[in-house]
Structure 1
Amino acid sequence: MRILLTGSSGWLGRHLAPQLRAAGHQVTGLDVAPGAYTDVVGTVADRSLIDRLFAEHRFDAVIHAAALHKPDIARYPVQAFIDVNVTGTLNLLDAAVAAGASRFVFTSTTSLMISEAIRRAEGEAAVWIDETIAPLEPRNIYGVTKLAAEHLCRLYHQLHGLPCLILRTGRFFPEDDDTHAKPSGENLKANELLNRRLTVEDAVEAHLMALDRAPAIGFDTFILSAPTPFARDEAAELKRDPAGVIARRFPDAADLYAARGWVLPESIDRIYDAARAERVLGWRARTDFAAVLAALRAGAPLPVAHDPAYTSPIIAAAT
């Protein structure tokens, strides 16, 4: 297929592009920052550029991974989020319909499902988050604009029959978290595989599967996260004493962590449930918390990417 990949210089894009090409697809990478897999430097908010690219390449499919993200809130005004995340998505949908494209895969975020109440960890139990959670009340402009873009995808499927799959990804970026100081680094990433993280490799595989299955599915929304080892009826205990729950599943986890100077989570306030992606899309993350413990037992490299020096290409392009 002829594929337009937006966000091709980003962390996901730089891993996804070579896999698409290895599968035999003709990929045109579009990003605001140069990169090894970026063929065109420009923004999705530029409608004339999008129309020109579709006229030149006659894309069969779009994978739309470009966006302003939550850390960009400190650097960009609200209007920039509207321009890129909403108008940019609309530009791509319009062009895809006009070109008769056969599928559209939209990289969204679990962040838009987190209200201010969930962020503050209110309540006595962990919140079990799946695709049915409602109402959705995003807590910042990032979440608001990503949710608006999702609605545009739904609308264009309804109005034009464009197959659109929305992938709400958990955390997979390599840099340190900008809100958690302790634990941090690899310890935090390992903990998050219990409830809210996946590897970039697993995210890539989900996008490849979505690209393949979009015409058959038509429209759907999927949470992407490592499979949680927990059950819904453990939600209250996870909030109060996650170490006890973890010990039942992984008896040696505490000792393995202690040997590395790590700590288990003191409280788990949310669980991202990716069961629908497994049931409908046929995707299940290959890397989970058990894989981390296996690496610790074997003294092997950890299966999660951690790079505290990682800088988003959009920041590099602006400096």
Structure 2
Amino acid sequence: MKKILVVGGAGYIGSHMVKMLLQKQHHVVILDDLSSGHRDAVLGGDFILGSLADTALLNGLFAEHHFDGVMHFASFIQVGESMLNPGSYYRNNVTNTLNLLETMVNHKVLTFLFSSTAAIFGEPLYTPINEIHPKNPINPYGRSKLMVEEILADFDRAYGLKSICLRYFNAAGADAEGQLGERHDPETHLIPLVLQAAAGMRPYITVFGQDYDTPDGTCIRDYIHVEDLCQAHLLAIEKLWDGAPRGVYNLGNGEGFSVREVIDAAREVTGREIPVQYGARREGDPARLVADSGLARIQLGWQSKYPEIEKIIEHAWRWILHGSKHDS
């Protein structure tokens, strides 16, 4: 049994991670400021309300607990918002993460897992995207994540802080047992938006662009089940405990689904009509974003438990119908 600090553990992915760690009998401490997380999504462990901006709180936390590792899920994640308010993204995603890393080094906690993103790559030069694809982020969100990846490389060289960065493509789905799900406000992710339209919670789903260079003209994205993401985190931190070096891994299904395919699958799963309106392309939306996750499979021993888009949607739909009543 290890003691793990999960920062952002009340959020979408963080709360699923906390549940999985508790199931593995680890001692979990959760730090979250609840700016976008939900207290009732934390299903156990020791919850502390606070921010990475509070260095006194961090020092007290690390003085009180001897952590075996830290998992970071506390970044701001909205691309559009990062364009409008870059300062808050650099402050939270870079400066606050630096506060955490310096506290870890000072207290000799040298195992760190970081939630990175496919946004570090920018417009893809080829797909599927592997780890050595050029990094050219096109928004402050992606740049902030790439900055942290570079900081982690420097902290490894200087202080021996070992880290693994997991670059998500499109996290989706919900806890298979129906206890947890996606509760963003505002919601910007395709699958919950489509299912909200199916549930009558919004009048229609808007499809942005239908003239992309894809088989049906709509954007193709790589959706990975949130539990598969958490499983990759578990494998990654175990590798670091076993002495593995710093690493970076792309995480996706390796198979893309178009917006139209997602909507059709949602109609099939829900048995409901889903009204669609078509809008213009959004600036910065690549036609195709698909991960090459071969390195994670080889080096971490990871494989997707729920690769089918229908299963991802089924779990998310169960949450929309039954679980998200928590959310007002």
Same fold flag (TM > 0.5):
yes
Number of the residue aligned with 2:66 = 58
Change (3 A) 1:206 1:25: same
Contact kept, 8 Å, 2:79 with 2:141, in 1: the verdict is no
C-alpha displacement of 1:45: 2.1
In proportion to residue count, which structure has more helix?
1
Q: Answer whether contact 2:79 2:139 (CA < 8 A) is retained.
A: no
Is the Cα contact below 8 Å between 1:102 and 1:162 reproduced in 2?
A: yes
**Structure 2 match to 1:48:** 56
Instruction: List per-residue Cα deviations over 1:228-284 (Å, max 9, x = no partner).
Output: 289xxxxxxx9xxx99xxxxxxxxx9xx79x97789xxx952321111111111111
**Percent identical:** 25
Shift of 1:113: 1.4
Contact 1:59 1:99 in 2 (8 A): no
The answer for the alignment partner of 2:178 in structure 1 is none
| Partner secondary structure for residue 224 of structure 2 | coil
Aligned to 1:25: 26
Q: Which residue of 2 aligns with 1:140?
A: 139
* C-alpha separation in 2, matches of 1:27 and 1:180: 31
The alpha carbon displacement at 1:307 in A equals: 4.2
Which structure's residues are more often strand, by fraction? 2
> What is the aligned length?
273
Structure 2 residue aligned with 1:302, among 286, 293, 314?
314
CA distance 1:75–1:8, shift in 2 (3 Å): farther
Give the alignment partner of residue 288 of structure 2, picking from 254, 265, 269. 269
Say if 1:64 and 1:74 are closer, same or farther in 2 by CA, change over 3 A.
closer
The answer for the alignment partner of 2:129 in structure 1 is: 129
**Structure 1: gaps spanning 5 or more residues:** 231-237, 244-252
Matched, 1:223 2:278: no
Classify the secondary structure of the residue corresponding to 2:57. Answer: helix
Does the 8 Å CA contact 1:97/1:162 hold for their aligned counterparts? Answer: yes
1:200 Cα deviation after fit: 0.9
Q: Which amino acid aligns with 1:203?
A: L
- TM-score w.r.t. length of structure 1: 0.71
Q: Any stretches of 5+ residues in structure 2 without a counterpart?
A: 173-181, 199-204, 208-215, 277-285
1:35 aligns with 2:39: yes
> CA separation of 1:209/1:152 partners in 2, compared to 1, >3 Å: closer, same or farther?
same
Q: What's 2:226 paired with?
A: 200
- The CA RMSD over aligned residues, in Å, is 4.1
Letter in 2 for 1:154: A
Question: Which residue type is aligned with residue 78 of structure 1?
Answer: P
SS of equivalent residue, structure 1 residue 39: strand
Contact 1:103 1:162 in 2 (8 A): yes
TM-score by length of structure 2 reads 0.70
1:76 is displaced (CA, Å) by 7.3
Give 1:106 deviation, angstroms.
0.6
